[in-house]
Amino acid sequence: MVDYPDYNADSVEAWEANAEFWDEAQGDEGNHWQRTLVFPGTLELLQPVPTTVLELACGNGNFARQLSRLGIAVTATDASEAQLRGARQRSDGYKIKWVRLDVTDRSALAALSGAAGAPFGAAVCNMALMDIAEITPLFDMLPLSLADEAPFVFSVLHPVFRPGPQVRLFRERIETEHGQFIEESGVKISNYLDTRVNYGIAVKGQPSIQPYFDRTLTELFSTAFDRGWVLDGIREPSITDGGDGDAEGRLSWDHMPNIPPVMVARLRHRG
């Protein structure tokens, strides 16, 4: 399924409850995944650097601050007041416009295009579509706020490997043809087409569990393609530096340099 409208309130409530914890985990500059996978992939696909960017589901503003430091005029939005509060507190001295926006709300998305004056040169949504209960309104309405053929770059937990609830990681020992033993980690996938809502956590220890909205690649991209968007850039970065040291000795994504936990994609509207 693509949209789960009955779960939006629950989802936003969970992000309100977890906002402080999330902010602490992300810090000013984002966590290891953000810094090494998400930001480089997103910045690459945003080239050439636009002068204005609309960010959706900005969380604690880690990426908005990056963009602002590049001289980009950023309007950063999120459905959670508590996330925006944390973002503002961390952004003294930055000229970022913070706006509360629930991207499942068609009239709020329509109002945004009017309020902005000139259309944005690009839109970004980092690591959030799998946290957003309904994505159809966004793909329908976002073109109203964007300049012609402006890019919409988004990153998500990789829809195939699905880091998160229900994922099965494994580590195995393999004997090579030279009689040596090597150990390899990977992911077991048995339910890719069985999309659904799964409750889980984003950060170990967070106060409230949250819903994740699984979508296959077909569900995700067809929702966009059916509304006039085309895909013209994609990245599947993996962790090749061994991670941030937190997972030492543990089964973890940090030990899978050949499996991308994140996918970054660039769409343009040709409607």
Ligand X SMILES: C[S@@+](CC[C@H](N)C(=O)[O-])C[C@H]1O[C@@H](n2cnc3c(N)ncnc32)[C@H](O)[C@@H]1O
Q: What angle do CA 271, 58, 231 make, to 5 degrees?
A: 30
Return phi, psi of residue 179, to 5°: 75, 15
Q: Out of 127, 135, 262, 263, name the contact with ligand X by CB under 6 A.
A: 127
DSSP 47: P
Q: Kind of pairing, strands 73-78 and 52-55?
A: parallel
Residue selected from 3, 23, 131, 214 as contacting ligand X according to rule CB under 6 A: 131
Distance CA 100, CA 83 (A): 10
- Verify binding: residue 8, ligand X, rule CB under 6 A: yes
Contact 114, 127 (CB under 8 A): no
- By C-beta, is 35 or 227 nearer to ligand X? 35
**Cα(43)–Cα(46) distance, integer angstroms:** 5
**Least distance in angstroms from the C-beta of 144 to ligand X:** 17
Pick 131 or 214: Cβ nearer ligand X: 131
Which residue from 126, 145, 195, 223 is in contact with ligand X, where contact means CB under 6 A?
126
132 lies in the binding site for ligand X (CB under 6 A):
yes
Residue 3 interacts with ligand X (CB under 6 A): yes or no: no
Of 7, 15, 161, 253, the one binding ligand X by CB under 6 A? 15
CA–CA distance from 147 to each of 15, 20, 49, 113, 224 (Å)? 30, 34, 14, 11, 17
Q: Which of residues 85-114 bind ligand X (CB under 6 A)?
A: 102-104
78 makes contact with ligand X (CB under 6 A): yes
Phi, psi (deg, nearest 5) at residue 122: -170, 160
Closer CB to ligand X, 211 or 243, in the complex: 211
CB 124, min distance to ligand X, A: 8
> Does 23 contact ligand X by CB under 6 A?
no
Scanning 41-49, 128-136, 178-186, 228-236 for contacts with ligand X by CB under 6 A, the matching segment is 128-136
- CA–CA distance, 209 with 48 (Å, rounded to integer): 38
Q: Which is nearer to ligand X, 207 or 248 (CB)?
A: 207
Under rule CB under 6 A, residue 259 binds ligand X = no
- With a CB cutoff of 8 Å and minimum separation 6, the contacts of 54 are 75, 77, 112, 116, 120, 122, 123, 124, 145, 146
| Interface ranges with ligand X (CB under 6 A) | 8, 11-12, 15, 26, 34, 57-59, 62, 78-80, 83, 102-104, 126-128, 131-132, 202
